[in-house]
Structure formats: structure tokens, C-alpha cells
Amino acid sequence: MTRKQAEEILSRFEGKRVLVVGDLMADEYIWGNVSRVSPEAPVLVLDMVRESFVPGGAANVAAQLLTLGAEVMVAGVIGNDSTGERLKEKLGIMGADISAVIATYDRPTTQKTRIVAGTQQLVRVDREKRDPLPDFTASRLVQSATRLLEKCDAILFSDYLKGVLSRDTVRSLTLAGQEKGIVITANPKPASAKFYEGIDVAQFNRTEADQTALAYALPGNDPFESADAQTFHEAGTRLRAALAVKNLLVTRGGEGLTVFHNGDIYTDMPAHRVEVFDGTGAGDSTIAALTLALASGASVKDAIALGNASGGAVVRKVGVVTASREEIASLFP
């Protein structure tokens, strides 16, 4: 793909309407410098310089879509707490429709606090509850999300196994989306992979793909981590068929990504040559750009190319960040 071709597809992102359903998170960063060891214990002492608070998880996917020019509707669950209110406020200021974000007393808002010295992450603290949603809350979520589907071009499920996306929730919204003929994508986890049968694209990294293959008793020992191309491609072909998705995307870090299509066909795509500072959020950026490209009428191959470039643009930065259309286009010749 040339830069001109990329820019033409990227220009069509403006105003596309995407419903993001999934696990909303808050990402807090404490930034500073380390120059000494604590006299109290053999641990580093961080001299804090600044703090930052950004949308994470499904909220980061929404932020990436907004950056790319989409109209975004968000459906998910937060705690009835100050972190959740702050996250809703952030999303609202960014321009997201948050009418399907439900606050509940049964769990806190998922929050990940990262302590970073320079560009090196020292430790992460997670505050979360991963139990499935109560039936009443799940029903409210489906009803609220279904109402928003009337004005959508795509559904993107952002699944981090925090209890929001049950099999019933995913199937209800998938069937509703398929009836409308809209694009449906997801980044599942191994434990929920089978929920997404029939969708347009399911995205995993190599480790997740191996764990999913193991869960479905497919042959081979960590075949997606194999250096042997035939082993890798055979595993992907089998896994796509087992999950019954139209396209299975497996990201491969510095080696790029591979998409397995229906009919035992696959497409390998090399990574863009960029300096990598932080891989956080790269998968979110990939699936966001890919989804918008498909919703804009791009072919699967072109959509994957733009998703690949979007992930490449994000890893050049530190923290949970987004990529602009200009940054994505700049990676093409």
C-alpha cells in the first residue's frame, strides 16, 4: 500500500460510527526519576515528577477511534466511584457517547497504576473485580447497547476478562449486529474466544493464540511461538476454523502480523521498521484502525495494513497513547 492509498482510506474514517463494548479501565501513571535505594528496604525510590490519568482497556480503544475521526458510542460498566466518574468525564470531553456506560456498586472501576522511571516501568498496581456481571446489570448493558446499534457502522468488542462480556451478552449483540449487516470485530482472550463465532475479525497476540489453541485441544506445543513458518501457519488455519470466525488476526510483535482467512488462505504482513519504546496499547490501536477501515469499505488486506501501521505508530511512544491518521499514513512509502 502506498501513502496516497492509505490516506484515501484514512480520509473515509471521518464520521464512521462505532459501538465499543467491553471492559472500561482507567490507566494512571506516576512518572519520575530514580537515583537512590530506600534505606528502609532494598527497593528503588522514585522522585515523582508528574502524574497522568488516561482511558484504558475498552476506553483506550474508544479514544483511539475518536482520534481517527470516528463517532464513538461506549457501552460498559464502571464502579460507582470517583475513578469511574473521572473516566466518564474524560470520555465525554473527548466526544464519546457515554449513555450506555453503567455505574454499579458491586465492583470498583478497573484501574491500573503504573510507576515509571524515565521510560522504564517499575511496577503496576491493579484494582479490579473480575466476577461476571449480575444478571440485572448485564441485561441493562445489552438493552442500552442494542439501542445504540441503530446508528452504528461497526461493533468492536474490547475483551479483557473483567466480567463485562459474557457469552450471552456477546451473542445477543453479535446477532443484532449481523442482522444489520455491520462490521463486527473483537480482541478476545483465550477463555472467551468461542463467544465470538461468526464475527469479521478476531485478534490475538501469539501468546493468546497459543493459549486458545491449547484450550481447544488443537495439536502442537505452543505452535504460534514456533520459528517454523509451516507450523505457525497450520496452527492459525486450524484455530480460525475452530473458532468459526471469518478472519483470525495474530500479531507477532517485531515480525508483524498474520491474518488467516476462510478457505485455508493467510496473509503475512511484516512490521514497520520503527523504534519501539512501549508496546502498551498497540493491540488496541491495531484493532481500532482495522475496524474503521472495514467500516469504510476497505478490503480485509488493506484494513489489516492500516491496523498494522496504527500499532506501529503507537509503539514509538511511551504509555497508553493513540495514533493519528497522519502518523499512520507516514509509515507508508
What residues act catalytically?
A: 284
Q: Do β-strands 110-117 and 120-127 pair in parallel, antiparallel, or remain unpaired?
A: antiparallel
Cell 484450550 belongs to residue:
215
Sheet holding 154-158, edge to edge: 97-104, 71-79, 17-22, 154-158, 183-187, 201-205, 247-251, 257-261, 265-269
Task: Give the DSSP per-residue string, 188-242.
Answer: --GGGGGGGTT-SEEEEEHHHHHHHHHHTT-SSSSGGG-S-HHHHHHHHHHHHHH
| Of residues 120, 70, 30, 22, the one with CA closest to residue 322 | 70
What percent of the chain is helix, strand and coil (3-state, nearest 5)?
A: 40, 30, 30
Neighbour tally for 208: CB within 10 Å = 19
